[in-house]
Amino acid sequence: MGKLSDEVRRKLNEPSFWHLATVSPSGTPTVSPVWIDVEGDHVLVNTAAGRLKERNVRSNPSVALSMANPDNPYERIEIRGRVVEFLEGEPADRSIDSLAKKYMGVDSYPYRKATEQRVLLRIEPTKVTHESQ
């Protein structure tokens, strides 16, 4: 398993935007901007059930995450890994509200649709790269 350094953990705990790369069953890559959280040695991504990223990781759990630092465009963090758990229901609902607090400063996620089911993706890092100039 890839080790999350203290500096990478600090970046994961900041309200920075990350990009999640997944691969479709046909082999086509796709990238989505995402909010991130960290719990222990796992990175957490919350999405809605049925979205492309959720469908992709159910068929191929391999993912990559990268962070863009607007204050230092030469800093690069890449986390490669695999989705090891899908959490639905109350844990996923609690997670999206926590992320809304972190990223938007509000107590609950304001863009949730009434019929939407949330899914929390637990990602186990296999390789972590952090470079900064």
Using DSSP, state whether 56 is helix, strand or coil: helix
CATH number where 25 lies: 2.30.110.10
Q: Of 25, 89, 32, which Cα lies nearest the Cα of 61?
A: 25
Residue 90 domain boundaries: 6-128
Using DSSP bridges, classify how beta strands 76-88 and 62-67 pair: parallel, antiparallel or unpaired: antiparallel
| Residues shown for the chain | 133
Q: What is the pTM of this model?
A: 0.94
- Flag whether 69 is in a domain: yes
- Flag whether 20 is in a domain: yes
- Flag whether 13 is in a domain: yes
- Flag whether 133 is in a domain: no
Q: Of 23, 20, 87, which Cα lies nearest the Cα of 59?
A: 23
Structural domain total, the chain: 1
pLDDT band at residue 34, thresholds of 50, 70 and 90? very high
- Flag whether 72 is in a domain: yes
pLDDT band at residue 71, thresholds of 50, 70 and 90? confident
pLDDT at 24: 94
Task: Write the CB contacts of 69 (distance below 8 Å, at least 6 apart in sequence).
Answer: 11, 16, 75
- Flag whether 1 is in a domain: no
- In whole angstroms, give the CA distance from residue 78 to residue 83: 15
Instruction: Name beta bridge partners: 23.
Output: 29
pLDDT band at residue 23, thresholds of 50, 70 and 90? very high
